[in-house]
Amino acid sequence: MVESTSAATSRRATEILTSVRKMCDPLLREAVSSLPEPLCLMGGYHLGWWDAEGTATPQPAGKALRPALTVCAAVACGATSRPALAAAAAVELVHNFTLLHDDIMDVDQVRRGRPAVWTVWGIADAMLLGDALHALAARVLVTGLPGRTATAAVARLETAVIEMCHGQHKDCQFRSGGHVDVEEYTRMAMGKTGALMGCACALGALCAQADLATVAAMETFGRELGMAFQFVDDLIGIWGDPDVTGKPTSDLARHTMSLPVVAALGSGTEAGAELATMYGLDPDSMDTARAAALVESAGGRQCAQQLADDRVRAAIAALADPAAAADLMALAGMVSRRNH
């Protein structure tokens, strides 16, 4: 039987992620191992290398999507993967710093199928580990890239971090109540998620010594793909399978203003009005099954999926020659169809 295009793309994306994870692992381990205890122990636990006592155990690892984007962007610009590995590791360190802080702010007790760092070591130490991973990312760039490239890379990465912090600030504001429309939500998502994925792709192009126009195009590709990733993530936050995602689908239970919810609340439908009433009550009384049905009935699910698909198409349109960026295309296809 001939393998379907979708299945072949998914298989290729999985191969890319696995390969990049293996290539970046030594750099990540070297960086984290340089941390003083207990930060090193906590960092290795968070990254799935060992348990809370430091015993090596096979644990679910992150997808490594962002470092894969960095490497694949470099390859699409005519380089090999090697010059981009330091930048790929730095992006992954920053991503994990944000996960540590997000788990605290969202009061998420589970990360990748086991207790989040803050539930094991406490909030203060989890925050400090996040700060340490951020610092490691900058050091990895400075020590792993040639001088001028390192300077440009650090500037881009830290600019992205500032944009991410602003996006997270807006996301936290949305939780305090008040009207949020789809356009406002989209701007927030660009900062919270699009900025780092855009930076990941731009860094790959920088490491390949690409011209400024190509770097900008790669950043646009990553930003648009990051938006799609966030919108699909919002769908998973309501309809995902906890056995697959490694964390509970708690967005509705905690009244999260995700894209499907925002679209449903602004739909002008009876279902949207009923959902608004539910969001105005105590979260402990939330009937999540009923709320999910209302979001879908009000068109929130369809809207989020459509906007995710639109962003994937926009990402691909940013590539000067999609045929020369087959691996980036495979990753884009995976983002649009992922379920975890």
Q: Which CATH architecture has domain 5-333?
A: Orthogonal Bundle (1.10)
Cβ-Cβ contacts under 8 Å for 213 (sequence gap 6 or more): none
Residue 155 buriedness (CB in 10 A; 0-12 / 13-18 / 19+): exposed
pLDDT tens across 244-275, in order?
A: 655 556 788 888 899 999 999 999 999 999 99
Packing angle, helices 326-337 and 212-239, rounded to 10: 20
Judge whether 21 and 61 are in contact, CB under 8 Å. Answer: yes
**Predicted confidence (pLDDT) at residue 1 exceeds the cutoff of 50:** no
pLDDT tens across 139-157, in order?
A: 999 999 999 999 999 999 9
pLDDT tens across 214-235, in order?
A: 999 999 999 999 999 999 999 9
Q: How far apart are CA 49 and CA 24, in angstroms?
A: 14
- The answer to whether the peptide bond before residue 242 is cis (omega within 30 degrees of 0) is no
The runs of H, that is alpha helices, within the chain are 5-33, 39-46, 65-76, 85-106, 117-121, 123-144, 147-175, 182-189, 195-207, 212-239, 242-245, 259-265, 270-279, 288-297, 300-317, 326-337
Kindly report the number of other CB atoms within 10 A of residue 53's CB atom.
Answer: 8
pLDDT band at 240 (very low <50, low <70, confident <90, very high): confident
**Predicted confidence (pLDDT) at residue 204 exceeds the cutoff of 90:** yes
The amino acid that residue 317 corresponds to is A
The amino acid that residue 339 corresponds to is N
Residue with tokens 């879908």: 296
Q: What angle do CA 194, 157, 93 make, to 5 degrees?
A: 85
pLDDT tens across 57-96, in order?
A: 877 678 899 999 999 999 999 999 999 999 999 999 999 9
Every domain of the chain and the residues it spans: 5-333
Q: What angle do CA 201, 183, 101 make, to 5 degrees?
A: 55
Average pLDDT over residues 124-140: 98
pLDDT band at 284 (very low <50, low <70, confident <90, very high): confident
